[in-house]
Amino acid sequence: MEKNSLESMLMGAKNVRDDSILRKCSRSASTQQKNLLNVCKSVAEKSATNGLWMLSIIASTSPFIGLFGTVVSILDTFSGLGQSGSASLGVIAPAISEALIATAAGIFVAIPAYSIHLFLKRKAYEVLVYVDREMELLLSGSNNIDKVPHNDV
């Protein structure tokens, strides 16, 4: 929506589109407009990055939780082996294999969480770049296409 609004402004529209994040902030032209637009940008940034903290925590802690589960399971396995006195490969291998499932589960959770986090973080960045460009156009008082860089995000 912000990309379409910016393109519309670059083509000569005098204001942002109705579906723009900045729509409510761009209706009044006053000396405080820049401050108002900055507040709206902050609100847009908060909205665009909402929930990223949770994905970040999940992505960074799940391997450690899995590793902790593995360590606890191996300690339990060795404790059981010490009490039974039997230490053959047929007894140890299945127990350690079962313990490593916790590590695999942690990694299985971390990889998609981290990938989705990066994807959403990039999308939030793109929205904020469009908002910045729209703000620059609104504050310049002119939508002259020659004054605005056209680089893609």
Q: Is 19 domain-assigned?
A: no
Q: Is 88 domain-assigned?
A: yes
Coil, helix or strand at residue 79: helix
pTM: 0.70
Confidence at residue 30, expressed as pLDDT on a 0 to 100 scale: 52
Q: Is 112 domain-assigned?
A: yes
Q: Is 36 domain-assigned?
A: no
Confidence at residue 143, expressed as pLDDT on a 0 to 100 scale: 47
Q: Is 73 domain-assigned?
A: yes
Q: Is 113 domain-assigned?
A: yes
Per-residue pLDDT of the chain (153 residues), as tens digits, is: 777 877 777 777 777 777 777 776 766 555 457 888 888 888 888 888 998 999 999 999 999 999 999 999 888 888 877 777 777 777 788 888 888 999 999 999 999 999 999 999 999 999 899 888 888 888 886 544 444 444 555
How many structural domains are present in the chain?
Answer: 1
Q: In the chain, which residue ranges form alpha helices assigned H by DSSP?
A: 2-10, 33-48, 52-84, 89-140
- Rounded CA gap, 17 and 9, in Å? 8
Q: Is 18 domain-assigned?
A: no
| Domain housing 116 | 62-122
